[in-house]
Amino acid sequence: MAGAHVVVVGGGFAGLTAAQALARRGVAVTLIDRRNHHLFQPLLYQVATATLSPAQIAAPIRKVLSRRRSAEVLMGEVTGFDLAGRRVLLSDGECGYDYLVVAAGATHSYFGHDEWAPFAPGLKSLEDAVTIRRRLLLAFERAERAADQGKQQAELTFVIVGGGPTGVELAGAMVEIARNTIPADFRSIDTTTARVILVEAGDRLLGAFPEELSARAKRDLEDLGVEVWLHKRVTQIDEAGVTVGHGADQQRLETHSVVWAAGVAASPIGKALGAPLDKSGRVMVGPDLSIPGHPEVFVLGDMAHVPDGAGGQVPGVAPAAMQMGRFVADVIVRETRGKRAATARPAFAYHNKGNLATIGRARAVAAFPRFNMAGFTAWALWALIHVAFLITFRQKLMVMVDWLWSYVFFERGARLITGEQDGPHGTTPSPQAARRARSGESMSSTPTS
């Protein structure tokens, strides 16, 4: 199919990788996203905890693709698809395609309790990160002016729901802020008395990691001062706090600072493709990552349910998304150049290069196919790998400088309270929560895959 036009929905890891690989080989590609930037999501928690600024982990998509003349970028809201007519439907128009790559990422899942969203923001976008940072810093400000000890303690209680990598990283960073970064900044409160509580329904943290690394992460967090609650399920979140457990086992935590890191669901745009979905809304794709009946339509990243060949599925992590992007680009290039028919496509094979999670200062865990590691070595490796994957040289340099400064001086240079403060307790719901409240999630791309 000479002169084929490829439309990519989503400027995250999978979508941007596919667009770059196609444009590099001269294929006409249009990338559509409702935001103008690619987000390096693994470092999003560092914006939420005031270590980095938003511009250090995001890059304009137009700039990333500016040197590829066959690449076009459209900032727009995707509302659906006409698969028969090969058109992507936008809120203000449409875009035709020969091949379609859908990589719109994931959003938060509150397991049927979307009413919790205004009180417990998740962490999927820059807006979410700035919201969490604002709430975190405002809590200390309110505690400084609290009239009695009970109100002060409520302000100095922080709850993270979910013991995956995001929850673990947030908990470690939050307790380090309270214990190491800001104690000298306040006069009426002792920030070292702040409680950071990590609540996990399962029997261990970091369920995707080996058990010995899960145990090490729990030990390290507790050494830092985090309270780790395992086998505990959140049953209520409201303006005044969090309820954990049922009946005689029920506990109430008075707090105004809750972060949701317990679950994700694929972008609802997947429903518009008409393909089978799993219970998390991921699209059930074939071995070549295309959907049934439409070999010209591919679904990648967090939106795709891809079996891993061992009874599980390919994890929703950046390396897997990037591998999918490169794989689909190769398939399309071969077919547009007449080297292979759609019926002879290879199957996608995920190559697990390991998992890493940072816990705190000089503390991390790393699981690789042949060995595991923890401590300072894992932390240094985590830092090097994450710097290497940042998009621009300026970002790499600035992040390294900020990390070095933070390591030496225990300082976090992005402690700015910005944004509107007109909601409950001086906070506003995240953009995702606001959209839910207005009538459901819009079908648009998110920068997570």
Active site residues: 169
DSSP H/E element including 172:
helix 165-176
Which SS3 state, helix, strand or coil, does residue 350 take? coil
Smallest CA-to-CA distance from 7 within 51, 69, 65, 72 is with 72
Structure tokens that stand for 285 in this block? 């794709």
- Other C-beta atoms lying within 10 Å of the C-beta of residue 268: 17
Distance of CA 430 to the CA centre of its chain: 14
Alpha carbon distance 305, 320 (integer Å): 12
CB proximity list for 194: less than 8 A, separation 6 or greater: 156, 157, 158, 175, 178, 179
Alpha carbon distance 328, 299 (integer Å): 9
Structure tokens that stand for 21 in this block? 């690989």
- Bridging pattern class, strands 241-244 and 106-108: unpaired
Structure tokens that stand for 270 in this block? 């997947």
Alpha carbon distance 204, 212 (integer Å): 10
Alpha carbon distance 152, 145 (integer Å): 8
Strand ranges (E), 212-293: 227-229, 234-238, 241-244, 251-254, 257-260, 264-266, 283-284, 290-291
Q: The tokens 């070999």 sit on which residue?
A: 295
Smallest CA-to-CA distance from 292 within 301, 300, 283, 282 is with 283
Residue 362 φ/ψ region, left for φ over 0, alpha for ψ in the -120 to 50 degree band, beta for the rest: left
